[in-house]
Amino acid sequence: MKLKKRSFKKLFLPLPYLFPKIFAFRLPRIIVVETANTCMLKCPTCPTVTAMKRKAGMIDMATFRRLADQIDWKLDKMDFGYSGEPLMNPRIFEMISYAGKRMIPTGFDTNGMLIEPFVEDIISSKLRFITISLDGTSNESLTKFRIGADFNKIISGLRKLCRKKRALNLEFPIITMQLIVMKHNEGEIDAFIELARDIGVDKVCLKSLNLNIGFWLSGEERENLANMYLPTNERYCRYSLNEEGPQFKKGFLMPCIFPFNDMVVFWNGDVGLCCLDFNGRYIAGNVTEQPIKDIWRSELYNRYRKLIFRRKLEMCKECNFTEDVNEVIALTEK
Ligand SMILES: C[S@@+](CC[C@H](N)C(=O)[O-])C[C@H]1O[C@@H](n2cnc3c(N)ncnc32)[C@H](O)[C@@H]1O
Ligand code: SF4
Ligand code: SF4
């Protein structure tokens, strides 16, 4: 029944592309803000630390306020993640508090390396959602993909955060522990859920690996990574392997809802089309120069939307970003 409803909904996905001017009147539900485009880790599929050509930087308060002050509609979420590690920007909690005062729900994904020093800030800023990318149940397993991470440091910060939240009997932030399911950790799923229960997080997310975020890898590099990291359990895999290398499973190339739902703002105020354009090849405007509603509804944006629909932009040709391939397990009542 659920499946039928989903397939039925998909029938309507092309509509916004046929009438972009009309559908762009509905403003974005999610705004992704790039707090920083740098990171202290070196995950092998991450373009930020390997193929980023944009200048390194952090969004400043003036640019952020300029953006936040224009949001006079209901956002589902302002996501302070994107290309780098959000906690690299020490002013992130000022921004989260500022957004909170404007009733904008906020969240971010983090590699967890800097949770410990920011436990108080996470709680006092009234952050709504935090996801910790902890791809293993031991240091050995975690660092096979999260190169440079420190398991004990992350766990220690996470435990402190959960204890503080419990002590204050807070509903937020909703804390999720995420495992990207890969060859070396697929046997740890039960242990991961147990660990999450023991720490006291609210949810566990089992995510499938994307091999080509930002499309910067060559076919050969992608194949090597596929052999090294793709899990054997089909359920957690977006690809099937054949003699031509990893191929998206059938059904993953649906019309993309991204350009009608999400807006991406780079640290310098540039508005990009989607999270996968990490080098900012397609820029639709800049929030410090133009009102965001004008950018969202501009001719240029609509032109891009049409190209996205027809998968004419280089980045869209092989994109499998549009299907929800995460499995979320709730551990606490909400
Ligand atoms: C690009 S990261 C940025 C935030 C933070 N640095 C982190 O890694 O959590 C945003 C999200 O993408 C996830 N991610 C990173 N590499 C991935 C990959 N190859 N496939 C699927 N998800 C990935 C992260 O775990 C995180 O949930
Ligand atoms: S922790 Fe996040 S930003 Fe850092 S290298 Fe890994 S995926 Fe990229
Ligand atoms: S198809 Fe993929 S790359 Fe293109 S806009 Fe959508 S999410 Fe981005």
The continuous run of DSSP H or E covering 271 comes out as strand 270-272
Q: Among 109-118, 192-201, 301-310, 317-326, whose mean pLDDT is lowest?
A: 317-326
Pocket test for ligand 2, best of 41, 113, 209 (most atoms within 8 A of CB): 41
Partners of 110 in the β-ladder: 132
b (16+ CB within 10 A) / e for 143-165 = bbbbeebebeebbebbbebbeeb
Residues 6+ apart with CB under 8 A from 169: none
Q: Give the integer Cα–Cα distance in Å for 159 and 198.
A: 9
Ligand 2 centroid to Cα of residue 83, in Å, is: 8
Q: Is 52 in the pocket of ligand 2 (CB under 6 A)?
A: no
Q: Give the integer Cα–Cα distance in Å for 82 and 279.
A: 12
Q: Is 154 in the pocket of ligand 2 (CB under 6 A)?
A: no
Say if residue 258's pLDDT is above 60: yes
pLDDT, tens digit (0-9, with 9 covering 90-100), for 40-67: 999 999 999 888 899 999 999 999 999 9
Ligand 3 centroid to Cα of residue 82, in Å, is: 14
Q: Whose CA is closest to atom 7 on ligand 3? A: 321
Q: Give the integer Cα–Cα distance in Å for 51 and 40.
A: 15
| 3-state percent breakdown (helix, strand, coil) of the chain, nearest 5 | 35, 15, 45
Q: Is 47 in the pocket of ligand 2 (CB under 6 A)?
A: no
Of all atoms in ligand 2, which is nearest to the CA of residue 42? 5
The structure's pTM equals 0.93
Residue 111 sits at φ, ψ, to 5 deg, of -80, -5
pLDDT, tens digit (0-9, with 9 covering 90-100), for 204-242: 999 999 887 766 788 888 889 999 999 999 888 888 777
Q: Which ligand is nearest to the CA of 32?
A: 1
pLDDT, tens digit (0-9, with 9 covering 90-100), for 164-192: 999 999 999 999 999 999 999 999 999 99
Q: Whose CA is closest to atom 5 on ligand 1? A: 110
Of all atoms in ligand 2, which is nearest to the CA of residue 83? 3
